[in-house]
């Protein structure tokens, strides 16, 4: 069981890494050949579509996995098919409903976006919603080995189309079409895998539809509301508000800053996404594993994030001089990384226990302050106001997560947190003081921090082992050998 969970999780992790790297490469290229206005327009359409896609799914991608897992374990194929057919109908109804909302507010939206971009956003909503549903079904079948390949093919298609259309002067429209192609290709291949696994679905029997509908909605709503709140409180809404108040150029700059931040933050998200199935299936040791994962996510992400904070201008300069005004926003966003790591860990633990009210509470604690501050600060401070709003929301939710952690009984070693924070901070400050090249400084900060962590026994063998247990032995054992050898050499030397 451990191997199958670890193997499936490893493919999901690989899928995430491919998605992040391909997205970073794409935006690095687009920043060189497209204007900030074009990137601002396309990023606004993408963010707008992401929010409405979250509404359209009604949380069904989360709810369907619960019932599919049970019916598949009981080898009841027809029952599984009925759940899938019902979920497709629910999501399709959600897509129609969100499209109707866009139609109602058509004239207001048309002030900011052209007609062809509004149509593309509806197509994005439809394809991304269905792709999300089919991906959840594929994960429920544990047939995840094809997910990295699908992501790679979709990303290559997106890159070729987006770059090709931008070079032929389609600008923001071309980038948006490129992102649409990603969702279309993903949706097609994921649907194909579902059809391959389950075969023809046949007719829909509405006598059974009502019960299945009720069961799926009941399982979906508790996860949908926090997920929707998180989406609204994320950078997507901030990008839209910056676009509306400050224009496409500043929206494009903030989008790239948020993309860089998201790439660093994805370390924590990916780690807990991989760990969630194992945490949910555990009877004992959940809290101990959760703390180890929180500490590991801090150890991995903080040395990188502190380095980028002190060299944010150099990082944004890689995209061009037009984007260096986003360096302050990037610095402020990265300050939220530490509270976010602990927040994600506590939220995942609460979710694994089925404490949906606590999950909702934490989601509201982050989203409500962010949304209120978005509308308060964006007009005066633009993208910097969005970054401040996001970080303040993270800090407030972090405080709320400490309350939830105490209720659950999760023990956090603040000594370890303080050391993991202060070591890379101190090393980064030294490199900045001596004016070291930013590439050498970033790499050196990470290496020196890990050496100190091992020497101080912050990075312990059991923590690494617990984390690597999430992966197949073919991946976990070689990494464990490297850590063991490195730790032995450091301890002998000092």
pLDDT tens for 287-326 read 988 998 899 889 989 999 999 999 999 999 888 888 888 8
pLDDT at 493 exceeding the cut of 60: no
Q: Do 308 and 260 touch, CB atoms closer than 8 A?
A: yes
Compute, in degrees rounded to 10, the torsion defined by CA atoms 284, 358, 63, 50. Answer: -130
Residue 409 burial by Cβ neighbours in a 10 Å radius (0-12, 13-18, 19+): exposed
State how far the Cα of 273 lies from the Cα of 350, in Å rounded to an integer.
Answer: 14
User: Phi first, then psi: what are they for 353, rounded to 5°?
Assistant: -80, -10
Count CB atoms within 10 A of the CB of residue 445: 28
State how far the Cα of 314 lies from the Cα of 484, in Å rounded to an integer.
Answer: 35
* Span of 4-8, 343-347, 375-379, 381-385 with lowest mean pLDDT: 4-8
Q: Do 349 and 291 touch, CB atoms closer than 8 A?
A: no
State how far the Cα of 72 lies from the Cα of 83, in Å rounded to an integer.
Answer: 11
For residue 373, the SS3 value is helix
Count CB atoms within 10 A of the CB of residue 407: 12
Tokens at 102, concatenated: 């866009």
State how far the Cα of 486 lies from the Cα of 465, in Å rounded to an integer.
Answer: 15
**Of 146 and 272, which is predicted with more confidence?**
146
State how far the Cα of 134 lies from the Cα of 147, in Å rounded to an integer.
Answer: 11
Tokens at 299, concatenated: 């150890």
Q: What value does the mean pLDDT take over residues 349-365? A: 85
Q: What angle do CA 94, 233, 22 make, to 5 degrees?
A: 80
Give the pTM.
0.78
Length of the chain in residues, anyone? 494
Work out the percent of the chain whose per-residue pLDDT is above 70.
83
State how far the Cα of 26 lies from the Cα of 47, in Å rounded to an integer.
Answer: 17
Which residue carries 């994320």 as its tokens? Answer: 234
> What does the pLDDT look like over 360-392, one tens digit per residue?
889 889 888 988 898 899 888 888 999 999 999
pLDDT at 408 exceeding the cut of 80: yes
Residue 353 burial by Cβ neighbours in a 10 Å radius (0-12, 13-18, 19+): middle
Helix boundaries (H) for 58-114: 60-73, 77-104, 106-110
In the chain, DSSP finds a helix count (H) and a strand count (E) of 21, 0
Q: At what angle do helices 248-281 and 327-334 cross, to 10 degrees?
A: 20
């Amino acid at each position: 069981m451990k191997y199958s969970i670890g193997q499936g999780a490893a493919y999901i992790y690989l899928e995430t890494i491919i998605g992040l790297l391909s997205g970073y490469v794409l935006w690095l290229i687009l920043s060189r050949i497209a204007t900030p206005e074009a990137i601002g327009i396309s990023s606004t359409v993408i963010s707008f579509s992401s929010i409405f896609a979250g509404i359209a799914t009604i949380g069904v991608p989360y709810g369907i996995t619960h019932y599919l897992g049970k019916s598949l374990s009981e080898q009841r194929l027809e029952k599984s098919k009925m759940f899938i057919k019902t979920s497709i109908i629910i999501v399709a109804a959600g897509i129609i409903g969100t499209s109707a909302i866009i139609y109602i507010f058509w004239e207001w939206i048309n002030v900011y976006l052209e007609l062809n971009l509004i149509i593309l956003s509806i197509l994005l909503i439809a394809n991304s919603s269905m792709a999300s549903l089919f991906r959840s079904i594929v994960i429920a079948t544990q047939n995840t080995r094809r997910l990295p390949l699908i992501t790679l093919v979709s990303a290559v298609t997106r890159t070729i189309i987006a770059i090709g259309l931008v070079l032929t002067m389609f600008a923001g429209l071309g980038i948006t079409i490129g992102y649409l192609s990603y969702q279309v290709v993903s949706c097609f291949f994921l649907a194909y895998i579902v059809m391959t696994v389950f075969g023809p679905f046949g007719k829909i029997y509405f006598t059974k539809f009502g019960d299945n509908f009720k069961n799926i909605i009941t399982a979906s709503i508790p996860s949908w509301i926090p997920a929707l709140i998180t989406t609204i409180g994320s950078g997507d809404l901030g990008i839209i508000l910056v676009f509306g108040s400050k224009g496409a150029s500043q929206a494009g700059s903030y989008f790239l800053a948020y993309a860089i931040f998201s790439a660093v933050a994805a370390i924590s998200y990916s780690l807990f996404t991989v760990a969630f199935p194992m945490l949910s299936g555990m009877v004992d040791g959940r809290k101990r594993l959760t703390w180890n994962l929180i500490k590991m996510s801090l150890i991995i992400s903080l040395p990188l994030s502190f380095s980028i904070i002190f060299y944010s201008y150099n990082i944004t300069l890689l995209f061009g001089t037009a984007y260096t005004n986003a360096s302050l926003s990037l610095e402020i966003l990265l300050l939220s990384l530490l509270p976010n790591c602990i927040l994600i860990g506590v939220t995942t633990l609460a979710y694994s226990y089925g404490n949906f009210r606590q999950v909702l509470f934490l989601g509201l604690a982050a989203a409500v302050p962010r949304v209120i501050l978005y509308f308060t600060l964006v007009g005066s401070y633009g993208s910097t106001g969005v970054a401040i709003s996001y970080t303040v929301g993270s800090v407030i939710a972090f405080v709320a997560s400490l309350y939830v952690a105490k209720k659950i009984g999760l023990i956090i070693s603040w000594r370890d947190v303080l050391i993991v924070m202060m070591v890379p901070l101190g090393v980064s400050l030294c490199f900045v003081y001596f004016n070291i090249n930013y590439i050498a400084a970033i790499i050196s900060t990470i290496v020196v921090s890990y050496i100190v962590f091992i020497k101080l026994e912050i990075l312990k063998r059991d923590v690494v082992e617990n984390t690597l247990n999430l992966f197949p032995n073919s991946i976990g054992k070689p990494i464990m050998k490297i850590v063991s050898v490195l730790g032995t050499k450091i301890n002998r030397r000092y």
